[in-house]
Structure 1
Amino acid sequence: MGTESKRQQRFAGVIQEDLAALFQRDGNSWAPGAFITVTKVRVTPDLAIARIYLSFLNTKTAKESLKQIQSKISEIRYKLGIRIKNQARIVPELEFFLDDTNEYVEHMDKLFEKISKEPRQPD
């Protein structure tokens, strides 16, 4: 994937900010008990599709929470459209993905901890 244009980056920033506000306000009804963070938004060059990466806290089943969010895409897109109507001609199609960066970091930390506990081999 090539680099994003300034226009794509600006539009992605608008979507990220407005979705974060929506998840803060309505997120509990879409994924009860989960704290949802919009970690990254990528927009296609024609601004028709927004790929949104979400991170979930306070939930053991992030994949289940993601499915709950995906089942509410039309409602979320409608509410986003109301918020960005003065900044965009079209409301992009939304695609939600799980941002597993935190899980990856924890996994790597565990591996490094395990390595550091192993006895060193003499040179």
Structure 2
Amino acid sequence: MDSKRQQKFARLIQKELAEIFQRDVSHLFQGSYISISGVRVSPDLGVAKAHLSFLLNPNGKDLLKEIQFHSKTIRHELAKRIRNQVRVVPELIFYIDESAEYAAKMDKIISQLDIPGESKEDPTNPFRSPEEEEDDFYEEDEDLEDEEEDEDTRDR
């Protein structure tokens, strides 16, 4: 669990890195759209791990290598932007964020599942229609009336 200080610092780094990738150094990466999906900062604020996602770019690993090659330039741009707000500019470590690919993979797997239809005979099914629940309610009332009549006849 990150402290509030780490979270605040991570949000600052994420915002500034996003602007740097979109405006300042986009020419270094052939105009690829690079978004920062998250930043995690070490407790001493000396290391920032940035998770990148590359939209419309099939060769993400090559682009990541190029980003890592230019990491000093990116860190310098970051330092120019946040130098009045922090004591030390963190070392930047970049990772590919694969959550979008993972979500697409899971969506594909779920869509291929063969899920049987709902059974109307199962009274414990939480997904029954309201009409079925009404029918059960009336059946319970009739059962209660029958029991009351039985009790009346026993008392006599």
Fold match (TM-score > 0.5): yes
Identity of matched residues, %: 44
- 2:101 corresponds to: 103
CA shift digits 1:60-98 (9 cap, x unpaired) = 111111111111000000000000001101100000000
- The answer as to whether partners of 1:18 and 1:83 remain within 8 angstroms in 2 is yes
Deviation at 1:115, TM superposition (A): 1.5
CA distance in 1 between partners of 2:96 and 2:111 (Å): 26
Q: Distance in 1 between matches of 2:105 and 2:25?
A: 27
Equivalent position SS for 2:2:
coil
Provide the C-alpha distance between the structure 2 equivalents of 1:33 and 1:110, rounded to a whole number of angstroms. 30
Aligned to 1:62: 60
Distance 2:45 2:28 in 1: 25
| Aligned pairs for 1:1-123 within 5 A | 3-116=1-114
TM superposition shift of 1:27:
4.3
| Worse overlay, 28-37 or 88-97 | 28-37
> What is the CA distance between 1:112 and its match in structure 2?
1.0
C-alpha distance in 1, partners of 2:29/2:98? 17
Larger Rg over CA atoms? 2
Unpaired segments ≥5 residues, structure 1:
none
Inter-partner Cα distance in structure 1 for 2:99 and 2:57: 16
Q: CA deviation at 1:114?
A: 1.6
Q: Which moved more, 1:47-56 or 1:19-28?
A: 19-28
Runs of at least 4 residues off by over 6 Å: none
Aligned CA-pair RMSD: 1.5
Q: How far off its partner does 1:30 sit?
A: 2.7
For this pair of structures, how many residues does the alignment match?
A: 117
If each structure's strand is expressed as a fraction of its own residues, which one has the higher value? Answer: 1
Asked if structure 2 preserves the Cα contact closer than 8 Å seen for 1:33 and 1:58, the reply is no
Which protein, 1 or 2, shows the higher relative CO under an 8 Å CA cutoff with sep ≥ 6?
1
**If the length of structure 1 is used for normalisation, what is the TM-score?**
0.89
Q: Deviations over 1:85-118 (max 9, x none)?
A: 01101100000000000000011111111214xx
